[in-house]
Amino acid sequence: MATLSIAYYLTFKRMKVTKQTVTNDGKRAYIEIEPDQRFQPVCHVSKGTNTAIHCWESRDIRDLPLGEAEVLLKYIYRKIYCSNCNKIVVEDLDVCHPRARMTHRFAWHLHDMCKLMSVKDVSERYNLGWHVVKKC
C-alpha cells in the first residue's frame, strides 16, 4: 500500500522529514524536520564547520500553506559550540533565522502578498497578527 509523502515539497538543505500528520478536518498539517546527520553542523555566525554539538532543541515554525491547510513544522535543530566564535550558537540550516517563528519562504510569500493586498488583509488571510506581517 502506497503512502503519500510531503517530503518532495520540503526542499530544505541538509534537513530531512521524519514525521507528518494532518488533522482530521484537513485544516492543519504537522511536519517534523530535523538535520540530516550526514552533514557537519555549520555555525550561523562565522559559517565555520569547526564545531561540536552542544544540545538538541525544537520549536514550531510556520511554513507555506498547502491549499487550505496551515503547515506547522516541528523544527528540530542543534545548538553547537563554534571554536571560531568561541560560544554556543544555533547551527545554520537555511530554514529560518535563528530566533524566527516562520520559514524564509513563508516570510517572502507574505512580503509578496503585501504588494498585492493590504497588511490587514494578509494578516487575516493567514491568521497572523498585523505586526508579524509588517515585519516581513
Contact status, residue 33 vs residue 10, Cβ threshold 8 Å: yes
Whether 1 has a pLDDT exceeding 70, the answer reads no
Tell me 79's DSSP state: E
Residue in this structure with the C-alpha cell 528540530, named with its chain if needed: 76
Rounded to whole angstroms, the Cα distance separating 117 from 56 reads 39
Q: Each residue of 70-80: pLDDT tens digit?
A: 999 998 999 99
d(CA 44, CA 106): 20
Q: Are 119 and 134 in contact (CB under 8 A)?
A: yes
Convert 66-77 into a string of H (helix), E (strand) and C (coil).
ECCEEEEEEEEE
* For range 87-103, the mean pLDDT: 88
All three cell numbers of 34: 530535523
| 19-50 per-position pLDDT tens digit | 988 888 889 989 999 998 888 888 988 988 88
pLDDT band (50, 70, 90) for residue 15: confident
Cβ atoms 78, 56 nearer than 8 A = yes
Q: Are 33 and 95 in contact (CB under 8 A)?
A: yes
Domain ranges of the chain: 7-99, 102-136
